[in-house]
Amino acid sequence: MPSDVTPDSMDHPLVFGQRLQVLRTRRGMSRTVLAGLLGKSPSWVKQVENGTLHTPGLSMILRVAEVLRVRNLGELTGDQTMPVDLFIGPGHAKLPAVRDAIDAFLFDIDREAPSAAHLSARLASAWSARHSAPNHREVIGGLLPGLIQDAQLAVRQADRAPERRAAQAVLAEVYGLSQFFLAYQPDSALLWRAAERGMVAAQESEDPHAIGVAAWLTAQAHRDSGPGHFDAADAVTLKTLRYLTPLLPDASDDVRAIAGALQFEAGYTAARRGDTGTAWNRWDTARKMAKRLPADYYHPATSFSRAVMGAHAVTVAVELHAGGESVRQAAKADAKTIPSRPRRARHRIEEARGYQLDGQPEAALATLDKAYEAAPETIRYNGYARRIILEETESKSPTHRRRAAELAVKIGVLAA
């Protein structure tokens, strides 16, 4: 999700090392942690920061930007002539309408709100449309304003406590869907507003599934804000698991799936920390929970299912910077079993990260081509894909440069 770094102290000229130190400090990241994530020594980071070593090459700059979740390369290099956004995608044309719906006050609307059952059916259709669409933001961006307004209206008009709780549950999950649209767009404050409102609505609903989905999304928002927020991500994940666990013996498939998804999220955060044992243990727990779900089950919000566990294994290996293991897990995972086009594209991007870690840039680019075929909007908004493609545009291989440049034009990183 979008970075919250806003380096306002960088309006005056600073050299690369100084900018690196400011951004690293704002992320709450030590030199030792940054060095480990970059495959360098702490002394290397120190020498870059104090200017003993010169500015590194583009490939390392891109890796630093990825680790620190820098908004664009200009913030890191000081070169405002190359404002390449990595972890903020292009603002979608439907973003203003979604923003207006989230921020609206409905006191002047006198029509009758749809029932919670009607809204639930519309929400299910919206999820289905998202999973089947290559340009999923375009699809759900058109559906969200009406869904948000009607769900808000249903909560406002509910007279009895059961009706109000049911409406709050739907509203929470509508806010959840909106976060898939808002992620990586240039309005991180709006994303957090949706996440916080979703969590409040879920708690008001007292619905375990709504609470689980809201917690899952909130944990992701914390984790993607950088290492300084990993503890907050874990707190949300683990507290929600403690709440859900006693309910699981008699729970629906959806509740059991969200508990499994939260188990994996705990593993994902552990992998980001470099905690190999915890990461794989959490993945294995989640895998066992997935095996207890029906073979054809697929959770609409989290994608949790038997089909996605192979993709999750690739993600764990990649986040642990284990290139060989990433490739081995990718060979075992079957992307074709993932029914969601955007989730399948996301898996392909993770595979590409694994191939690049393993020193196979040609395979990485070929896999990113597959991601583009599955869902162009997913790769267009994904910072990891952007980093790989930009890095390979500087490759010594003419074939790699040409292929990377073609992809860069497709996703809008370079002009045609």
What's the confidence (pLDDT) of residue 53? 84
Contact 263, 289 (CB under 8 A): yes
Name the amino acid, one letter, at 131.
H
What's the confidence (pLDDT) of residue 299? 97
Q: Where in the chain is the domain with CATH 1.10.260.40?
A: 8-77
Phi-psi category of residue 53: left, alpha or beta, with phi > 0 → left and psi -120 to 50 → alpha: beta
What's the confidence (pLDDT) of residue 15? 81
Phi-psi category of residue 171: left, alpha or beta, with phi > 0 → left and psi -120 to 50 → alpha: alpha
What's the confidence (pLDDT) of residue 107? 67
- Enter the tokens of residue 399: 């074939």
What's the confidence (pLDDT) of residue 22? 86
Phi-psi category of residue 380: left, alpha or beta, with phi > 0 → left and psi -120 to 50 → alpha: alpha
- How do the residues of the chain divide into helix, strand and coil, expressed in percent and rounded to 5? 70, 0, 30
What's the confidence (pLDDT) of residue 12? 44
What's the confidence (pLDDT) of residue 201? 97
What's the confidence (pLDDT) of residue 115? 92
What's the confidence (pLDDT) of residue 1? 42
Name the amino acid, one letter, at 352.
A
Residue found under tokens 């020498």:
47
**What pLDDT, in 10s, does the model give residues 222-242?**
998 878 889 999 999 999 999
What's the confidence (pLDDT) of residue 164? 95
DSSP string across 118-147: HHHHHHHHHHHHHHH-TTHHHHHHHHHHHH
Q: Which residues, given as ranges, of the chain have pLDDT below 70?
A: 1-14, 71-72, 79-90, 107-109, 414-416
pTM of the model: 0.80
Q: What CATH number does the domain located at 8-77 have?
A: 1.10.260.40
CA distance 208 to 33: 36
